[in-house]
Every structure is written in C-alpha cells, then in structure tokens.
Homo-oligomer: A and B are copies of this chain.
Amino acid sequence: MLDAVERQNLSDLVAAKIREYIVAEGLKAGDRLPTEQALADRFGVSRLSVREATKALGFLGILEAAPRRGLTVGKVDMGRVTEYLGFHLALNDYSRNQLLETRIVIETGVLPYVMKRMAENASIYDRLHEINDKLHRARSLEKRIEADIAFHHALLESSGLEPLVAFNDLLQIFFDRFRRSVATGDWKMGVEGHQRMIDSLKNGKLEAAVDELRRHLEYHKKRK
C-alpha cells in the first residue's frame, strides 16, 4: 500500500485516503464525496479525524463543504498556498541553490518540447514575446515580479507538460524572495536574456536557448 506507518497522525492518513478515493473514483471538480460520517465509517476512524482532514483540504481549496450539499471536490489553485507560504517563507531560509538547480533542470529540460511546439504554432512565440515586453515596460518591482513569473509560467505551459507547470508554480512561490533582491538595473539584463532565448527557440537553436536560459537563471547564484 501507500504509506501505512509513516504518517503518524490520523488526519494526514485520512487526507491521503481521500486522495486515493478521488483517484479511484476518478472524481473531478464539483463531484460529490461521501458524507463525513460515511468516510469515517469507511476508514474506521471517528468523524472528528475525517473532519480535521477535510478542513485542512478545504483550507487549501481542494475540497469544499456546505451543509446539506456535503463535500465536493474543488479546484486546485495555488491561491491559498501562495498566501500562507509567502508569509512563512519570508521568515525561513530555504536552500537557494537547490531551488535554483531544480529550476534549471525543469526549465531547460522543457525547452526541446517548447521548440517543437513553437515550430508548429507561431502564437507561442508571440505570447512569450508579449509577456516579455510587458516585463520590459514594467516600472515597479511588483509588476516586474508578476511579469517575470508569468513569463516562466508561460514557458512551461508552452511545453504542454502540465504536471511540470504545476510544479513550477510551486517552485516560484519558494523562489519569490530571491527575486525581490534583484537590483533594479539588472532586470534589463533579464529581459534581454529572455528575448535571446525565445529567439533561439524560434530559429531552432536548442543548444543556444538552453545555454541562454541556464545563464539567465544562474544569475541568481552569483548574487549574495
């Protein structure tokens, strides 16, 4: 089975069980789950433990609950996670290099797929270019961060590998704090790097695009 002994508290275990249930039943957003009591009986725990789990999942937006309507599957969007991790990460250090190397693996690894799809669909280049242009015109730190995240998100999205899009969104939350310390003058460099990269992709120069992206990301490594 999955993880019988590893988890120590019941509510985490129940949360995992609920995930299995969702997979097994192939539930999608809006679908109903059994009632709390029914889940409690099914898992052999008290309603309270189910409740703690569904509350936690509800907090993240994964489940929704209402009297009479019962539990329904929600949309997984990262709003809640961003909100709460954002404040927390501001207080805790997390290995910068690990995050960076992870981003490098994922983003450069995805470029072959982006290039291929770009060759078939010109609008992909246009979209990336447009976002980068927005980044170029941005004047406040907040706008820049927003546009930069949007650019990398769009890059991942252009690969068509959706699981990686989700994972990258998560990484970006952790990475946020490093972005904030980018010197104002250096943003220009970033924009130019983006541009050279997508141009290389457009021209079928994969190696060059990979190098460009790696250099772009490794910029964060040098800074203290």
Q: What is A's interface to B at a CB cutoff of 8 Å?
A: 2, 9, 11-12, 15, 19, 22-23, 26-29, 48, 51-53, 55-60, 62, 73, 75-78, 81-82, 84-95, 98-99, 101-102, 105-106, 108-110, 113, 160-164, 166-167, 170-171, 173-174
Contact = CB atoms under 8 A, between A and B. Distances in A.
Contact of A161 (B26, B55, B92, B98): B98
Given A55-B56, A76-B84, A105-B164, 11 more contacts: A26-B93, A56-B58, A57-B84, A57-B87, A60-B88, A76-B87, A78-B94, A81-B170, A98-B161, A105-B105, A163-B171
A173 B174 CA distance: 24
B60 A173 contact: no
Nearest to A101: B161
Given A91-B22, A108-B109, A162-B98, A81 B84 contact: yes
Given A19-B90, A78-B174, A89-B76, A101 B84 contact: no
A163 B84 contact: no
Contacts of A76: 84-85, 87-89, 91-92, 94
Q: How many copies does the complex hold?
A: 2
Nearest to A102: B163
Given A2-B173, A98-B163, A163-B98, A55 B11 contact: yes
Contacts of A86: 19
B164 A29 contact: no
A173 B80 CA distance: 14
Nearest to A56: B59
A6 to B, nearest CB: 12
A90 B163 CA distance: 11
A173 to B, nearest CB: 7
Contact of A94 (B82, B162, B173): B162
B81 A162 contact: no
Contacts of A55: 9, 11, 52-53, 55-56
A16 to B, nearest CB: 8
Contacts of A99: 163
Q: Which of the listed residues A19, A78, A95 has the most CB atoms from chain B within 10 Å of its own CB?
A: A78
